[in-house]
Structure 1
Amino acid sequence: MSELPRRIAHLDMDAFFASVELLRYPELRGQAVVVGGGHRSEPTVDEHGKRHFVRLREYAGRGVVTTSTYEARKLGVFSAMGMMKAAQLAPDAILLPSNFDSYRHYSELFKSAVATIAPRIENRGIDEIYIDLTDVPGETRTLAQRIKRVVADTTGLSCSIAVAPNKLLAKIGSELDKPDGLTLLTFDDLQTRIWPLPAKKVNGIGPKANDRLAALGIHTVGDIAAADPALLQQQFGLSYATWLTRIAAGIDDREIETSSVPRSKSRETTFSRDLHPRRDRAELSERFTDLCVRLAEDLERRQLTSACISIKVRFSDFRTVTRDHTLEAGVADAASIRRAATECLKRVTLDRSIRLLGVKASALSQQSVDGSAPKWVQSEMQFDASGGI
């Protein structure tokens, strides 16, 4: 283990999905663009070779925004927002379909490029990574500039990067100067740059915890630092209160995890109309099957097996339920995933129409997948309103 002061970087691609789309459609640079439409939002080309794009006001459906350009964000449109609400806020924004194969391609490109400079990388998703720069020769700012340059040269995309003594401060720092930011933080910057931030900016303080903190008059990271530890413990319990005190002091001892095994994989879909468990059983069965098949393909592509399968069901009244099923041995084939997901479904009362359906694989292990595993045969199983097959 190095005895040098830790230099941990967090790199976050700027508006990643939208930026990848702008590589395909450079004429849209500087405009409000929303990504998340289906195939109906594909641009068309007229007889003169000119592209025509769908406007957000033309969208009708139940989808959600995958991402948006910074111009669209200035109009209030952010990821996970309902598309119809986004259309009210930015009706003239350009709407593009998602292209996840392309996003995965550019994700692999930028991570491989960074690895040529600093090989100790923790993968945090398709568009962000932690990088351990502690033992990499070079001055910190120069290293960060090199990383930004190699990402831009390899992908044509910009990123924001922060270097700090730990993952906590690096994660927060990468958001401070977006887009195309380069931020260096030390513990001396805690009071001036971190404490004024809203508490919810800290990864791990979710909406419910943020609301409970606000009810106590605690709104910023600095407020947490000044709070009575006994009060925090009374409201949140010893473990979470201790964590809050540590993060307010900028303390984070977590190491860079270079293992490539993700925590979970999931697939879900929001239906264009609510589907009834009985009247729309055939369509629900097909959608349920498709989710399991796609999830199995994700696992097989990474040579992963899952020992826990979960489902998510969101009803027409927006009530959401989740159920999980733990397996004796890891699985990766669609048939086994479907059977486990069905066991979960049996524990859900399907008494109203369904808006969203999802399947998740967790407790993942890096193992060779048995190629002889039975493949899913759609015609043999049906979605049943009782949760059975």
Structure 2
Amino acid sequence: MARWVLHADLDQFVAAVELLRRPELRGRPVVVGGTGDPSRRGVVSTASYEARRYGVRSGLPLRTAARRCPEAVFLPVDRAAYEAASDTVMATLRELCDVVEVIGWDEAFLAVDTGDPEAVARLIQRRVREATALDCTVGIGQNKLQAKLATAFGKPAGVFRLTDRTWPEVLGDRPTDVLWGIGPKTAKRLGELGIRTVAQLAAADPRELARRFGPTIGPWLVRLARGRDPSPVVAEPYRARSRGREITYQEDLAGWDRVRREVGALARQVADEVAADDRPVGRVVVKVRYAPFTTRTHGQRLVRPARRAEAIERAALAALDRFTERRPVRLLGVRAEFVPEEEAAGPAPGDAPMPASTDPSAPARTGPAVSASTGASASAGAPGPPASGDPPRS
């Protein structure tokens, strides 16, 4: 028997949970986000496949979603319902496999020793559906990277295997940003070097990319394009890698003094959640969305990891000071990124921020918050060094 990695990913998870409670909406375009009122400001958390056909996607303003799909049904976010469904799914997966690594509300890796991974994948799908009535897609690979990317080819509710042998044929001609861990900024930089496809990146000279991207990131990009990922599936309880809050304002904030007050208030709210986690924070990121819809982020590291509200608020305001544009603001967000547990040793009394990179393409590996107003980010970190990446498909 061989060791396989399976990636189980629930299909249109948030929308699917809502459809279970409202079966009369099945087959209709459904959009979940904010308060569920598209006349008010807010963004799409998720959309059903029927709504996606109209170009409705996560992060889109609710008003834009309503224009693109006038017949859509809009529903408010119900975090408690999604957490309950997720808990049931993950418990089901653990009944089937001893080694389960949860990486978000709606996805997990499983390590299995089997001669027939497709049979295991179909068993997973059947048991999840029996337990929750939710569908999931299962990707199969020889490592986590391959399994994660295989899932995209199996959507929705399918099974797809990606291996060292099939990798070049399946992915070779695709753009580099299809890779888990490469986002638009990195893809653009690669394109400037004439590297636009996965095959071109796989054939690139690691030494040249090391000169362009650094001695760690450069060679890692080449390994990524070759389908290499040595990271193991770790059977540990899922813990969010950050805590964050966002607010979309019904009227733009015109004065920067008001913006500072709002960021400070958000930081204190985030600090309350950090205190509940009792884990040190190493970096704070502030997100600003200007009117009409331009988004910028800046981060601020702490000299020493900290848990105190004062330290988190001070770092948030220091990050805010990096914004040079003073245009009207429609959305603000603050995210506190926890120090990786292997780096967090002992109490964390530090409270002083230090200069840090403001490049939003290199955050800690956290996924987007499902709620536009509150909650822990759903981690979907790519393997290897941090790099700009797109939210996972669902």
- Per the TM superposition, whether the score is higher than 0.5 is yes
- Residue pairs, 1:109-188, within 5 angstroms: 109-134=88-113, 139-188=116-165
Could you tell me how far 1:63 is from its partner in structure 2?
1.9
Give the one of 189, 194, 197 matched to 2:166.
189
Could you tell me how far 1:177 is from its partner in structure 2?
1.5
Structure with greater contact order relative to length (CA < 8 Å, sep ≥ 6): 2
Secondary structure of the 1:314 match is strand
Structure-1 residue corresponding to 2:329: 354
Structure-2 residue corresponding to 1:219: 196
Matched-pair contact (CA < 8 Å) for 2:16–2:48: yes
Give the one of 286, 302, 316 matched to 1:311.
286
Give the one of 10, 14, 25 matched to 2:11.
14
| TM superposition score normalised by structure 2 | 0.76
- Residue pairs, 1:143-292, within 5 angstroms: 143-227=120-204, 232=209, 235-259=212-236, 260-277=238-255, 281=258, 285=261, 287-288=262-263, 291-292=266-267
Give the one of 87, 94, 99 matched to 2:73.
94
Could you tell me how far 1:274 is from its partner in structure 2?
1.1
Could you tell me how far 1:235 is from its partner in structure 2?
4.9
Matched-pair contact (CA < 8 Å) for 1:262–1:364: no
Distance 1:187 1:347, change over 3 A: closer
Could you tell me how far 1:237 is from its partner in structure 2?
4.8
Distance 1:310 1:220, change over 3 A: closer
CA distance in 1, matches of 2:115, 2:207: 44
Specify the code of the residue in structure 1 equivalent to 2:177: K
| Residues 250-308 of structure 1: per-residue CA shift (max 9 Å, x gap) | 21111123344433222222222211336x83x974x5465345424533554434243
CA distance in 1, matches of 2:230, 2:89: 27
Could you tell me how far 1:62 is from its partner in structure 2?
3.3
Give the one of 43, 48, 53 matched to 1:74.
53
With 166-175 and 352-361 compared, the bigger mean Cα shift is at: 352-361
CA distance in 2, matches of 1:289, 1:102: 30
| TM superposition score normalised by structure 1 | 0.77
Q: How many residues align?
A: 343
Specify the code of the residue in structure 1 equivalent to 2:58: S
CA distance in 2, matches of 1:211, 1:343: 29
CA distance in 2, matches of 1:321, 1:191: 35
Specify the code of the residue in structure 2 equivalent to 1:34: V
Secondary structure of the 1:174 match is helix
Distance 1:335 1:208, change over 3 A: closer
Give the one of 89, 97, 103 matched to 2:82.
103
Could you tell me how far 1:65 is from its partner in structure 2?
1.3
| Residues 6-47 of structure 1: per-residue CA shift (max 9 Å, x gap) | 3111111101111111011111111111111415x3xxxxxx
CA distance in 1, matches of 2:222, 2:319: 38
Matched-pair contact (CA < 8 Å) for 1:275–1:284: no
Matched-pair contact (CA < 8 Å) for 2:138–2:159: yes
Distance 1:309 1:212, change over 3 A: closer
Could you tell me how far 1:238 is from its partner in structure 2?
4.8
Give the one of 24, 28, 37 matched to 1:31.
28
Structure-2 residue corresponding to 1:50: none
| Residues 110-140 of structure 1: per-residue CA shift (max 9 Å, x gap) | 1111011113222222211111114xx6732
Distance 1:326 1:258, change over 3 A: farther
CA distance in 2, matches of 1:347, 1:70: 39
Q: Which runs of 5+ in 1 are unaligned?
A: 42-58, 371-389
Determine which structure has more spread, i.e. the larger CA radius of gyration: 1
